[in-house]
Amino acid sequence: MAMAAAAAASSSYLSNASAILLYAALFLAGAHAEPDPTQVATTSQVPSILPVCKTVGGGSTFFDVQFCLEALGSDGRSANAGANYGACSVIAADLLTANATSTADKIDGLLRERAGKDDDEATTTTRCLRACRALYGGVVRGQPGCAAAVRGRRSGEATRCLERAASAAEECEEGFRKSKVASPVTMENDDAFKLAKLAVALLSWAH
Ligand SMILES: *[C@@H]1O[C@H](CO)[C@@H](O)[C@H](O)[C@H]1NC(C)=O
């Protein structure tokens, strides 16, 4: 299109004025064809969950709007969850299940790698990892019942088990901190903690 315009503009059949008009017409046509980037972001990529995430993320000290958008946005079901806080809470609880399961697996792998390492720091790290494995084992065992409580909107029971999951993630991280060794699962603990808190917040808005 630009080449055609340039060719047309340099043609001796066109006066300068009509060349300018042609450019203007092409420019306007092009501008109209461009999608508005702000509209794409708010209406097709993160359609229904934005208001929900603004509400729960804006009012939380545990996670922000961005975390909520990324977490819920990673699950295809959120496209149809609309402003349904209960449905969003179910999604967050399911994400927590997947997270806790993969974290438990990761810790199993780390423990296998560590077998045989026995200097002081390795022993301390191994001990912390075992404690974390037990904590995440509890979360994984509790999650089917917990997610069912979220689905059934049994708020008291659901909130208690989600808070237990958040505490387990915190306790795992705290173990490393107290023992003064680096945590290999900081990111996982952070995600699990925030997902549990997100599910609690969403549930508290579901009526
Ligand atoms: C855990 O949750 C975080 C936050 O939603 C996400 O970025 C990450 O991909 C999840 N990991 C797994 C294994 O589900």
Residue 135 confidence (pLDDT): 98
**pTM to 2 decimal places:** 0.78
Based on C-alpha coordinates, what's the Rg of the chain?
Answer: 26
Domain boundary assignment for the chain: 2-43, 50-205
Q: Is 94 in the pocket of ligand 1 (CB under 6 A)?
A: no
Work out which ligand 1 atom sits closest to the CA atom of 101: 13
State the Cα–Cα distance between residues 106 and 194, nearest whole angstrom. 19
Where is 148: in which H helix or E strand?
A: helix 120-151
> pLDDT value at position 118?
78
Averaged pLDDT score across all residues of the chain: 84
Q: Tell me: the pLDDT tens digits for 42-55?
A: 445 545 799 999 99
Q: What is the pLDDT of residue 17?
A: 47
Residue predicted with more confidence, 113 or 4? 113
Q: What is the dihedral of CA 168, 104, 182, 93, to 10 degrees?
A: -50
CATH of domain 50-205: 1.20.140.40
Res. 131: pLDDT tops 90:
yes
Q: How far apart are CA 38 and CA 28, in angstroms?
A: 19
Cα 77–Cα 82–Cα 84 angle in degrees, nearest 5? 95
pLDDT digits (tens, 9 = 90+) for 79-122: 888 789 999 999 999 999 999 999 999 999 999 998 888 788 88
Residue nearest to atom 13 of ligand 1 (CA): 99
Pocket lining: 95 vs ligand 1, CB cutoff 6 Å: yes
Instruction: Say what the pLDDT of residue 207 is.
Output: 76
Which ligand 1 atom is nearest residue 74's CA? 5
Q: Contact 161/200 with Cβ under 8 angstroms?
A: no
Distance of CA 128 to the CA centre of its chain: 27
